[in-house]
C-alpha cells in the first residue's frame, strides 16, 4: 500500500513538472442579442430601404463569438514555442464564420522570448488590429457604433493569410511590430497555338505600427501598404477580354486614449489612399477591404465605369476618418459609452464625376458586468451620409440614413 502511494506521488510529481513546462488552454466567448436596424438610401426618385429586427443582426455585437486553443511550451532561457487556433461562429445559426474556415479567426504558431519578442507564422491579425482596433469606447465592435463598420471601415482591422509577423517585447510601455504576407502566381498558355494568354495573381501586404501604454495614456499608430497585380484570363467563348488591375493601397491610423478617472477620452484619425475594395485584387486575402457604412452607396455608383468597378474599387479612391469618444464609469460594474465618427471620401477618377462623400455617426451605449465572465450591454446609434456629384442633373445627391438599437449578453469560458 505504501509503495502504491509512493509511486502515485512520484508520477503526480512528474506530471506536475510537465504541466509547468507546457500548457494548452481551451477558451471562448458567446455574444448575442436582439436589435432593430433600419437603413435608407435615396437618390432622386430611387430609394432603397431595409429593416431588420431580431437576433440575426446582433450576433457577435460586442465581440465575435469564438472558441479556440492556445498554448505554449517552455524551451528554457526565456524562450517558448507558442500557438493559437481560433474559430469564429454565429450563435444564431451555429455556422462557422470567416468564409467557413475551421480556424478562421486565427491560426498561427511560432517562438517567443522575454528579451527579443515573438516571431509567428500563419493566419493572424494585422498590426492595426492589435494596436488600433481595441481603441475607442466601442472599439471594433457594436456594428456601426464601432470603427470597423463605421466611418473607418475595416482599414483598422485585417487578418493576414500565410503571414510572417514579429512583435517586439515591451520597452517601458513601448512596443512595435511588423508583418508581411504575399504571393506570386503566374501562368501562361497558348490558345489555338497562336495567342499567348497570361494570368497572374501577385500581391504584397506589409503591416507595421506600434504603441505606447503607460498609466492613463495609451497611443497606437499603424500603417498598411497593399500592392496587387492581378490579371484574369479572357473568356474566348463569350468574347470577354482579360482584366488587369494594378494598384497600391496605403492606410494609416493614429489613436490615443487618456484616462482622467472620471472619464476616459479617445481620439482617432486615419487615411486611405487607393482601391481598397477592388474585387479583382490578388487572392492573398486582405480583409481590410470594406469601407463601413459607405458600402451602402454601392448601388448609386454602379455603372459609372465601363469595367463595373465601384466608388471604392479604383486607385483614385481617398478617405479620411476621425472619431472622438468618451467612456464614463457608472458605479463599480457599469460604464456609459459615447462616440462621434465622421469621414470624408472622394474619387479622383473622371468616370465618377467628381463624386464626394460625407458620413456622420453618433452612438451611445451602456455595459453592466454581471460577473468576471459575463456582462450585458445596450447600444443606440444613428448615421447620416451623402454622395455629391459634379453634374447634379445627371446624378442627384445620394443620401443615407441609418439607425440601430440593440441589447445583448456576452459570456466567456
3-state helix/strand/coil string of 242-261:
CCEEEEEEEEEEEEEEEECC
Determine, yes or no, domain membership for 15: no
Assigned domain for 200 exists: yes
Indicate the SS3 state at residue 209.
strand
One digit per residue, pLDDT tens: the chain, 413 residues?
444 443 434 334 434 434 457 899 999 999 999 999 999 999 988 999 999 999 988 899 999 999 999 999 999 999 999 999 999 999 999 999 998 999 999 999 999 999 999 999 999 999 999 999 999 999 999 999 998 889 998 888 889 999 999 999 999 999 999 999 988 777 777 665 556 677 777 788 999 999 999 999 999 999 999 888 877 777 666 666 777 777 888 999 999 999 999 999 999 999 999 877 655 444 444 444 456 787 788 777 877 877 777 788 788 889 999 999 999 999 999 999 999 999 999 988 888 878 899 999 999 999 999 999 999 999 999 999 999 988 888 889 999 999 999 999 999 99
In a domain, 14, yes or no: no
Which DSSP letter does residue 164 get?
E
Q: Are 39 and 402 in contact (CB under 8 A)?
A: yes
3-class SS letters over 111-162: EEECCCEEEEEEEEECHHHHHCCCCCCCCCCCHHHCCCCCCCHHHHCCEEEE
Q: Which residues pair with 74 in a beta bridge?
A: 80
Asked if residue 10 belongs to a domain, the reply is: no
Q: How many other C-beta atoms lie within 10 A of the C-beta of residue 271?
A: 14
pTM of the model: 0.88
- Give percent helix, percent strand, percent coil of the chain, each to the nearest 5: 10, 55, 30
Angle at the Cα of 318 from the Cα atoms of 341 and 230, rounded to 5 degrees: 125
**pLDDT given for residue 192 in this prediction:** 58
Question: Reduced to 3 states, what is the DSSP secondary structure of residue 284?
Answer: coil
- Residue 281's alpha-carbon distances to 60, 154, 330, in angstroms, are 28, 16, 46
CATH number for position 249:
2.40.160.10
Reading the block at residue 329, the C-alpha cell is 464609469
Count CB atoms within 10 A of the CB of residue 148. Answer: 23
Cβ proximity of 163 and 129 under 8 Å: no
Q: Which of 7, 9, 52 is nearest to 33 (CA)?
A: 52
Contact 133/152 with Cβ under 8 angstroms?
A: no
Q: How far is CA 197 from CA 184, 188, 242, 243, 279, in A?
A: 17, 6, 9, 12, 21
In this prediction, residue 292 carries a pLDDT of 75
- Residue 212 maps to a domain: yes
Query: What whole-number distance in Å separates Cα of residue 260 and Cα of residue 216?
Result: 7
What pLDDT score was predicted for residue 148? 86
| 232 DSSP assignment | P
How many domains does the chain fold into? 1
User: How high is the pLDDT of residue 85?
Assistant: 98
Which residues constitute the domain of residue 238?
Answer: 22-412
d(CA 358, CA 343): 6
CB 363 within 8 A of CB 144: yes
Amino acid at each position: 500500500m505504501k509503495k502504491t502511494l509512493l509511486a502515485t506521488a512520484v508520477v503526480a510529481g512528474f506530471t506536475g513538472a510537465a504541466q509547468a513546462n507546457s500548457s494548452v488552454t481551451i477558451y471562448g466567448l458567446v455574444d448575442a442579442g436582439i436589435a432593430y436596424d433600419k437603413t435608407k438610401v435615396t437618390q432622386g426618385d430611387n430609394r432603397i430601404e431595409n429593416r431588420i429586427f431580431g437576433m440575426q443582426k446582433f450576433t457577435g455585437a460586442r465581440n465575435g463569438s469564438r472558441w479556440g486553443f492556445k498554448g505554449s511550451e517552455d524551451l528554457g532561457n526565456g524562450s517558448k514555442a507558442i500557438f493559437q487556433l481560433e474559430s469564429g461562429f454565429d450563435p444564431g445559426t451555429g455556422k462557422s464564420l470567416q468564409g467557413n474556415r475551421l480556424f478562421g479567426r486565427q491560426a498561427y504558431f511560432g517562438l517567443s522570448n522575454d528579451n527579443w519578442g515573438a516571431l509567428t507564422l500563419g493566419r493572424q491579425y494585422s498590426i492595426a488590429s492589435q494596436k488600433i482596433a481595441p481603441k475607442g469606447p466601442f472599439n471594433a465592435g457594436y456594428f456601426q457604433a464601432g470603427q470597423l463598420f463605421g466611418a473607418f471601415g475595416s482599414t483598422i482591422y485585417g487578418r493576414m493569410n500565410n503571414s510572417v509577423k514579429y512583435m517586439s517585447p515591451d520597452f517601458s510601455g513601448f512596443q512595435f511590430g511588423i508583418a508581411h504576407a504575399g504571393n506570386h502566381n503566374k501562368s501562361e498558355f497558348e490558345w489555338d497555338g497562336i495567342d499567348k494568354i497570361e494570368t497572374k495573381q501577385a500581391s504584397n501586404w506589409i503591416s507595421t505600427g506600434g504603441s505606447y501604454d503607460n498609466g492613463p495614456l495609451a497611443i497606437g499608430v499603424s500603417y498598411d501598404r497593399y500592392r496587387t497585380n492581378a490579371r484574369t484570363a479572357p473568356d474566348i467563348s463569350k468574347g470577354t477580354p482579360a482584366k488587369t488591375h494594378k494598384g497600391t493601397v496605403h492606410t494609416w491610423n493614429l489613436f490615443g486614449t487618456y484616462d482622467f478617472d472620471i472619464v476616459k477620452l479617445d481620439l482617432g484619425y486615419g487615411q486611405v489612399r487607393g482601391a481598397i475594395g477592388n474585387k479583382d485584387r490578388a487572392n492573398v486575402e486582405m480583409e481590410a477591404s470594406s469601407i463601413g457604412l459607405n458600402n451602402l452607396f454601392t448601388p448609386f455608383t454602379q455603372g459609372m465605369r465601363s469595367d463595373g468597378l465601384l466608388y471604392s474599387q479604383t486607385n483614385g479612391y481617398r478617405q479620411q476618418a476621425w472619431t472622438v469618444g468618451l467612456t464614463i464609469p457608472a458605479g463599480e460594474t457599469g460604464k456609459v459609452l459615447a462616440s462621434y465618427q465622421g469621414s470624408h471620401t472622394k474619387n479622383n477618377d473622371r468616370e465618377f464625376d467628381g463624386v464626394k462623400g460625407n458620413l456622420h455617426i453618433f452612438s451611445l451605449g451602456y455595459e453592466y458586468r454581471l460577473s468576471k465572465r459575463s456582462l450585458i450591454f445596450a447600444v443606440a446609434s444613428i448615421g447620416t451620409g451623402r454622395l455629391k456629384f459634379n453634374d447634379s442633373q445627371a446624378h442627384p445627391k445620394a443620401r443615407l440614413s441609418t439607425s440601430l438599437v440593440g441589447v445583448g449578453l456576452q459570456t466567456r469560458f
